[in-house]
Amino acid sequence: MLTQRSPTIRLLAGLLITLTAVAVYSGYTIAQMRALRELQAETIDRNRTDSLLLLRIQNGLNSLGLGMRDMLDQSEPYPLTAWKPQFTRIRTDLEDAMTREAKYSPTERSAQQRQYLSNSFEEFWRALDRIFELAGSNQDVEARAQVQISLQARQSALTTAVARLLVQNNENEQQMAARTRALYAGVERNVYIFMAAMLTLIALTSLYLVQGNRTLFRQVAELSERRGELAQQLISMQENTFRSISRELHDEFGQILTAIGAMLRRAHRQASGEHSPLLEQLTEVREIVQATLEKVRSLSHALHPVVLDETGLENAVDAYLPTFQKQTGIVVHYRKEGISRDLNQGLSIHLYRVLQEALNNVARHSGSKGASVKLQFRETDVVLEIEDEGVGFRGTKKHGMGLISMRERVGLVNGRIEFVANERGGALVRVTAPLTSPVQAEGAHAIV
């Protein structure tokens, strides 16, 4: 009896835990990847864009420095106002760069830094405008002095401020890179932890399943052994019952009917008159008794052929096949091969029952008008084959009670039974049983 509880609940609980772990890990990983994506999009990319714009501003400031150097060069024959278009073009480019830079400036930059850069540029442009006004009033000496005293200092301060912002951006980028590496390392570590947890869970589940299957197979093996013992007991009880009923029919009822027949024959001889009504009735009764006696003997032989116990399997088969042909109209071709052997009673009765069941299946299901039976004695075993030319196993169930009974009987003699469907039609039942095997065995091997 199977007393172990079903593992379904435990397996479902394990599956639920696994799915929960997968869901939690997936959500956590998605959150980390989203944070990494936001860090890269909102911080790193923005910081790089701002650095490029600061480099653009720095280049513009360098161009201003070169322009102011040329303005102070006394060897140049041009007036100061000749540099105004160049400075206007640089100013336009710097103002555009400043507008873009204000949009992409890092969030870590303080408002004072932003305001300082903007105010410094406004003061620089106002000072530049005053210098060009002085130059336009033919005050080139005063204008050059203002360039040297005020404008270059402001340009230098702006260059230093932009350089400081570039250094700050580089530091921020390095910090962001470190954070990115930390996030990637965290994700990688979590993947390893998750894989280890899943492998551990799978290993534990596999061990549990293996242990459960081993226990289940052991219990099934015990049940199979008990079933085999029960099958042997049931078949033995069945054969004993058949044998007892057969003997009762053959000995008791057969003797009674034989005695009644003898008494009727004496009464028939003593009856007077050739056309006496009593004589006709005695004749009719005697015929009924004789027919009943033949039916009783036939039933006794069907239940348990006495010839099987007295002379063995071969003679029992010789006696059974003509009766089967007469009852069913199926022509049976029978042949024996090998040197005859004396089989034990258990092996004989089981082979005989398989022959009966197989031929009954031929008569009931195959639709065949002919069958062949071969009994072959080999050195270590005996082979019984029953073959027909009917519809094969399409006309019957492969797991019907008749086939199950044949498997059980063959299993009790430690034999092997095969159910083969022929390509040309028909079916073949082949039983191979060892000559020296005990009557009870572990089981038969069925090949369908």
Q: Which domain holds residue 130?
A: 8-209
Domain boundary among 183, 209, 235: 209
- pLDDT top residue among 324 and 290: 324
| pLDDT at 103 exceeding the cut of 90 | no
Does 233 reside within a domain? no
- pLDDT score, position 443: 37
SS3 category, 415: coil
d(CA 254, CA 264): 15
Does 326 reside within a domain? yes
- pLDDT score, position 384: 92
d(CA 196, CA 183): 20
d(CA 85, CA 354): 118
Q: Of the given ranges (4-13, 63-72, 139-148, 309-318), which has the lowest mean pLDDT?
A: 4-13
pLDDT tens track for 219-236: 888 887 777 677 667 767
- pLDDT score, position 5: 62
Does 232 reside within a domain? no
d(CA 351, CA 431): 8
The total domain count for the chain is 2
Domain boundary among 209, 230, 248: 209
d(CA 133, CA 139): 9
Whether residues 24 and 136 fall in one domain: yes
- pLDDT top residue among 368 and 443: 368
SS3 category, 43: helix
Domain boundary among 166, 188, 209: 209
pLDDT tens track for 332-387: 999 998 888 888 888 888 888 888 888 888 888 878 888 999 999 888 899 999 98
372 contacts 331 by C-beta, under 8 angstroms: no
Whether residues 181 and 312 fall in one domain: no
Does 96 reside within a domain? yes
Section 157-180 average pLDDT: 85
Does 285 reside within a domain? no
- pLDDT top residue among 394 and 47: 47
Whether residues 80 and 202 fall in one domain: yes
d(CA 407, CA 416): 8
443: domain CATH number?
3.30.565.10
Beta bridge partners of 317: none
pTM assigned to the model: 0.48
Beta bridge partners of 418: 430, 447
| pLDDT at 83 exceeding the cut of 80 | yes
Whether residues 23 and 129 fall in one domain: yes
Does 406 reside within a domain? yes
Burial 114-150 (b: 16+ CB within 10 A, else e): eeebeebbeebeebbeebbebbeeeebeebbebbeeb
Does 216 reside within a domain? no
- pLDDT score, position 92: 92
Whether residues 197 and 312 fall in one domain: no
Does 142 reside within a domain? yes
Residue 434 C-beta-side C-alpha neighbours within 13 Å = 12
- pLDDT score, position 251: 63
pLDDT tens track for 202-224: 888 788 878 878 888 888 888 87
32: domain CATH number?
1.20.1420
Residue ranges of alpha helices (H) inside 73-110 are 84-104
Whether residues 191 and 317 fall in one domain: no
d(CA 263, CA 270): 11
